[in-house]
Amino acid sequence: MAKKIAHECSAATRTEFHATHDHPYHFLDCGLPNVHLVGIRYLECQCGDKTVEIPAIKQLMALIARHIVMKRDALTGAEIRFLRKRLGQKAIDFSLRIKLQTSTLSRVENGKQSISEKADVYIRIYYAFAAKDPVLLDALKNALDRVLAIRHKTKSTKPQKTIARIEQNQWALEAAA
């Protein structure tokens, strides 16, 4: 069996490439299988190692996250993991916040289980608030305005009671009677 010779990659062993639309750089290190970068420079060594120059990496990662949250298709496990890692949260903390068991989240992230549509939406909303992304927050506000506008158009009947009850020194709203 041929043994791979360990060597120090250098200018002599590397070739420089420019990532274009025809030959983009496959950005697997972001944790997603489908992100390709254009307009950057990367070096490929004879040994197969690739070194890439990515400017403004945090802005790029935030942009990818925004794209995931805004997409119409259901979130994949890898995308959910991406959003969690973007927020810098351990699986146990993230699962608590999105009301999923840690073991369920693990199966979801590994593509062994899918999540409900409700959980999908909840993760997107949670990410928008936690990341404080102004574009996502604005999109959420617009979506809420649209829902409320439809509600306002419908004829309202007698206004429902809002009941607040105090228990153990803590207020909670009850469903209307």
Residues that bind another protein (CB under 8 A): 8, 10, 29-31, 51, 53, 57-58, 61, 82, 84-86, 88-91
Q: Is the Cβ–Cβ distance between 13 and 7 less than 8 Å?
A: yes
Reduce the secondary structure of 125-145 to three states and give it as a string. HHHHHHHCCHHHHHHHHHHHH
3-state secondary structure of 107: helix
Q: Select 10 or 169, whichever has its Cβ closest to another protein.
A: 10
Q: Select 29 or 145, whichever has its Cβ closest to another protein.
A: 29
Q: Select 61 or 125, whichever has its Cβ closest to another protein.
A: 61
Q: Give me the helix-helix angle, 117-131 and 77-86, nearest 10°.
A: 20
Residue 61 CB, nearest distance to another protein (Å)? 6
Q: Select 30 or 69, whichever has its Cβ closest to another protein.
A: 30
Residue 73 CB, nearest distance to another protein (Å)? 21
Residue among 119, 129, 61, 121 nearest 95 (CA): 119
Cα separation, 82 vs 31, in Å, equals: 6
Q: Select 66 or 158, whichever has its Cβ closest to another protein.
A: 66
Residue 158 CB, nearest distance to another protein (Å)? 51
Residue 80 CB, nearest distance to another protein (Å)? 13
Cα separation, 78 vs 137, in Å, equals: 23
Residue 5 CB, nearest distance to another protein (Å)? 16
